[in-house]
Amino acid sequence: MQDTDYTFGTPDGPASGQDKRMQYRLTARAQVMLELEAGYPASEGVVASPLRKMVCGVRDISASGLCLLTEQELSVGALYPISVKLVNHVEPFVLMVEVSWCRPAEDGFRVGVRIIQSDQTAYVEWAEAVASAIEPP
């Protein structure tokens, strides 16, 4: 990762004392694919359902969560599988997230999600990638 791909904080972050994160946040160039609804194949008496996904922007990232920019409101407490594609990584990080908060924004919604640790996801690899972005070269 390069210094040009990540920066600390955001210029329009919360006022002092309002941020409850215990970790540094990085502003990153990334793309998130959020799976809204799993698809399933047709079976006897059941019509096939396509996978429903939503591409989200990323406002900032940390080892334990992300702030997403979405087109639609997401319910607090909802769990979603996501894949995060960072600029300097070939493979996307497949993660499970829980919606912590959702607020209207000028062009949709800002959604805070917490990464859920799971053996079937790239949780450890994600934490390592974020940590290496924070460490000085």
Sign of torsion, CA 100 31 129 9?
negative
Q: Name the pTM for this structure.
A: 0.72
Sign of torsion, CA 77 107 28 9?
negative
User: What average pLDDT values come out for the chain (137 residues) when binned by 10 residues?
Assistant: 41 45 55 79 64 85 90 93 87 94 94 92 89 67
Per-residue b/e over 23-45, b at no fewer than 16 CB within 10 Å?
ebbbbbebebebbeeeeeeeeee
